[in-house]
C-alpha cells in the first residue's frame, strides 16, 4: 500500500516534447508582448526560427522591432498605421491592414519555415472586429504539429482560450498610466 504522502506527490515530467503548443498572453496587465519576446530570446538561443506578425502596430518606432531586425533566425512584419485604431470608429483601411496581417500569419504558420509564430495584439484585433475569430480559430486548428503559436493582446475570447494549451492572464494591480504617466521609450515601447 502506498503511503498517503505518495498519493499527494506531483507527477514529474519524464520527457520533453517537440510538439508545438498554442499559448495566449492576455489581460489588462502590462507584459503580454514582453512575455512573447522573452520566448523569442530563449528560442533564438537554441537556434529556433521565429516569425512575428504585429497587428495594429504600423510604423510606430517600437524598440523591439529595431533590435529584432538585427538578430539571426527572426523575421517580422508589422501592419496598421502610426495612429491608434478607434474601436468605435474602425476605418476600412484598418480592416484591410488587419486582414493582411492575418493572411501573413496564415502564410507563416503553414509554411513550416518557422518553429515559433507570434501573432502580437491579435486578441485586440479580434475584439475590435478587425479580423474574424472563426478565421483565427481555423488557423489554430490547422497549425502544423511542430509549430508553437503565440497570441497576445487583451480581450482573448473564451473560444480561443479553450483551444489554447497555455493561457496567462496578466492582471493589472497598479499602473503609472492611471496617474497620467504616458508610455516611456525604451520601457513601454
**Can you tell me the distance from the alpha carbon of 25 to that of 168, in angstroms, rounded to the nearest whole number?**
5
Residue range 143-180, pLDDT digits in tens: 999 999 999 999 999 999 999 999 999 999 998 888 89
Residue range 105-142, pLDDT digits in tens: 999 999 999 999 999 999 999 999 999 999 999 999 99
Yes or no: say if 125 and 131 are a contact pair by the CB < 8 Å rule.
Answer: yes
Q: What is the pLDDT of residue 173?
A: 93
Residue 7's pLDDT band (cuts 50, 70, 90): low
Yes or no: say if 167 and 24 are a contact pair by the CB < 8 Å rule.
Answer: yes
Residue 189 has a CB neighbour count (10 Å cut-off) of: 14
The cell for 132 is: 474574424
The cell for 5 is: 504522502
**Can you tell me the distance from the alpha carbon of 98 to that of 126, in angstroms, rounded to the nearest whole number?**
9
The cell for 155 is: 480581450
This prediction has a pTM of 0.88
Kindly report the CATH number that applies to the domain delimited by 19-179: 3.40.50.300
Does 35 or 9 have the greater pLDDT score?
A: 35
Q: What is the pLDDT of residue 10?
A: 63
Report the residue count for the chain: 189
Q: Where do runs of H (alpha helix) occur along 73-156?
A: 92-111, 122-127, 133-142
Instruction: Please determine, for residue 51, whether its predicted confidence score (pLDDT) is greater than 60.
Output: yes
Residue 12's pLDDT band (cuts 50, 70, 90): low
Cβ-based neighbours of 133, under 8 Å, separated by 6 or more: 126, 157, 159, 160
Residue 6's pLDDT band (cuts 50, 70, 90): low
Amino acid at each position: 500500500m502506498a503511503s498517503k504522502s505518495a498519493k499527494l506527490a506531483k507527477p514529474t515530467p519524464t520527457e520533453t516534447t517537440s510538439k508545438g503548443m498554442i499559448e495566449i498572453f492576455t489581460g489588462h496587465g502590462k507584459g503580454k508582448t514582453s512575455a512573447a519576446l522573452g520566448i523569442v530570446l530563449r528560442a533564438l538561443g537554441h537556434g529556433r526560427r521565429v516569425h512575428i506578425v504585429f497587428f495594429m502596430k504600423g510604423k510606430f518606432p517600437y524598440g523591439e522591432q529595431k533590435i529584432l531586425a538585427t538578430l539571426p533566425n527572426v523575421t517580422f512584419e508589422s501592419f496598421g498605421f502610426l495612429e491608434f485604431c478607434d474601436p468605435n470608429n474602425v476605418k476600412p483601411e484598418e480592416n484591410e491592414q488587419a486582414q493582411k496581417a492575418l493572411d501573413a500569419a496564415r502564410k507563416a504558420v503553414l509554411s513550416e519555415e518557422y518553429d515559433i509564430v507570434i501573432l502580437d495584439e491579435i486578441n485586440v484585433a479580434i475584439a475590435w472586429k478587425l479580423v474574424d475569430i472563426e478565421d483565427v480559430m481555423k488557423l489554430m486548428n490547422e497549425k502544423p504539429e511542430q509549430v508553437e503559436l503565440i497570441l497576445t493582446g487583451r480581450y482573448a475570447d473564451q473560444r480561443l482560450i479553450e483551444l489554447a494549451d497555455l493561457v496567462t492572464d496578466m492582471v493589472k494591480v497598479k499602473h503609472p498610466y492611471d496617474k497620467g504617466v504616458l508610455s516611456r521609450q525604451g520601457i513601454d515601447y
